[in-house]
Amino acid sequence: MTRPPKAIPPCLICRQAPGHGELCPSDDDEATYYLQHPLPDGHRDWTPAGIRYTGTPARRTAVRAVMATTCWVRMHGKPNLPMSPGLLINQILATFGSSASKTARIGYTSDFLTTLDCRCDPWRCIHDHDAPNGVAPDWLTHPRLDPDLVVYVPLVAVEIRWADLWQTYWFADAGGGAVSLAIDSIPEISPPGITVACHRRWCDLCPGSSKPGARAKAPTPCPCSCHAGTPS
């Protein structure tokens, strides 16, 4: 069977061809996600920029499997990182501006994402459109696939501790730079008066009390639950 010439495959997200549905994020530069998935206590936004790596259920399965191999390093002092993810993470943090100072942890994966550097429109890539749900695509045994298109991409992550929220930004190290894949958001409010260390879950670094403010004379004890049970 041959494809009719110039047949345009449907969009992976809105399923339309040749155009896109009215609400399809592919046409929206401001869209921050094309799909949201629940996480325990929060959710994950799959970002439009990462569609090439995450645009099918099979590809997202592969990404989640690589995410599970993340080595986390606390962003305290001079974190000790392998050279390659370290350089990329520095580039990413530079784009975060002042928010970079809220980084609690940075991460890099010990495994690579095996994926495809094909010439398809990433919103309409046909290469694993029929891959079974829940199974990472096996590119190397895919029929009619040029093995030269297969690439191995490590992931890096930056975890930001906001006042009331944890966010983890996931990126692919795509050679030329970082490509945003997903943003995880998990709301969590710390008790008032908590120290910066305990707010970031660096409980072993907490001095046990916050510095006295302009009016308070004595230091305020840190209310983090990690101090409960410590004899005073």
- Rounded CA separation 59/51 (Å): 10
Nearer residue to Zn ion within complex by CB, 92 or 159 = 159
Q: Pick the binder of Zn ion from 58, 104, 125, 136 (CB under 5 A).
A: 125
**Residue 112 CA to its chain's centroid (Å):** 14
Site string for Zn ion, 177-216 (x = CB under 5 A): ------------------x--x----x--x----------
Nearer residue to Zn ion within complex by CB, 79 or 191 = 191
Are the C-beta atoms of 121 and 20 separated by less than 8 Å?
no
Nearer residue to Zn ion within complex by CB, 66 or 198 = 198
Q: Where are the beta strands (DSSP E) in 32-177?
A: 35-39, 42-46, 70-74, 103-116, 150-161, 165-173
CB of 56 to Zn ion, least distance (A): 10
- Rounded CA separation 58/87 (Å): 30
The runs of H, that is alpha helices, within the chain are 51-54, 57-67, 83-96, 196-199
* Best CA proximity match to 41, nearest among 189, 228, 200, 188: 188
Say whether residue 222 binds Zn ion (CB under 5 A): yes
Say whether residue 149 binds Zn ion (CB under 5 A): no
Q: Pick the binder of Zn ion from 44, 59, 127, 199 (CB under 5 A).
A: 127
Say whether residue 150 binds Zn ion (CB under 5 A): no
Say whether residue 124 binds Zn ion (CB under 5 A): no
Binding site for Zn ion (CB under 5 A): 11, 13-14, 20, 24, 26, 118, 120, 125, 127, 195, 198, 203, 206, 222, 224, 226
